[in-house]
């Protein structure tokens, strides 16, 4: 999988734009169709995964990368900033529907044990 990432600064805060040639768990983009919504970012109108789908995608990072420290930190921030508006039942439903329960469980165990990849890329 090829990933392109650009870091921008908005009002002094980092803003990341990531482009993938496939979903980070290696599955086709069409599986995300029910979980995307139009958003306006940096004066652009784009289609992006819902917050719940973003949580699922970050939790389900597959091999060889698995979930990295950077992804774990960004996921944690996303959840903290949106805790009240996130539908965690929908997150669980998407994980089940995509059949990624095993990947998510392995990534969570890895994170909780402190073994997330901390190498710099």
Q: 3-state class of 22 per DSSP? A: coil
Whole-structure pTM value: 0.68
Residue 72 placed within a domain = yes
Per residue in 58-115, pLDDT (tens digit) is: 888 766 566 777 778 888 899 999 999 999 999 999 989 888 888 888 888 887 877 6
- Please state, in angstroms and rounded to a whole number, the distance separating the CA atoms of residues 76 and 83: 10
Note whether residue 119 is domain-resident: no
Q: What is the count of structural domains for the chain?
A: 1
Closest by CA to 61, choosing from 112, 107, 20, is: 107
Domain residues for the domain of 57 are: 3-112
Which residues are 17's β-sheet partners? Answer: 6
Helix (H) or strand (E) holding 9: strand 3-10
CA distance 20 to 42: 19
């Amino acid at each position: 999988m090829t990933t392109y990432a650009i870091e921008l600064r908005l009002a002094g805060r980092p803003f990341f734009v990531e482009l993938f040639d496939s979903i980070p768990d290696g599955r086709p983009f069409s599986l995300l169709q029910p979980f995307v919504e139009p958003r306006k970012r940096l004066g652009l109108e784009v289609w992006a995964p819902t917050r719940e789908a973003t949580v699922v995608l970050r939790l389900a990072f597959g091999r060889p990368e698995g979930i990295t420290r950077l992804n774990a930190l960004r996921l944690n921030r996303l959840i903290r900033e949106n805790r009240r508006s996130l539908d965690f039942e929908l997150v669980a439903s998407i994980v089940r529907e995509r059949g990624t329960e095993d990947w998510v469980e392995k990534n969570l165990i890895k994170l909780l044990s402190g073994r997330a990849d901390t190498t710099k890329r």
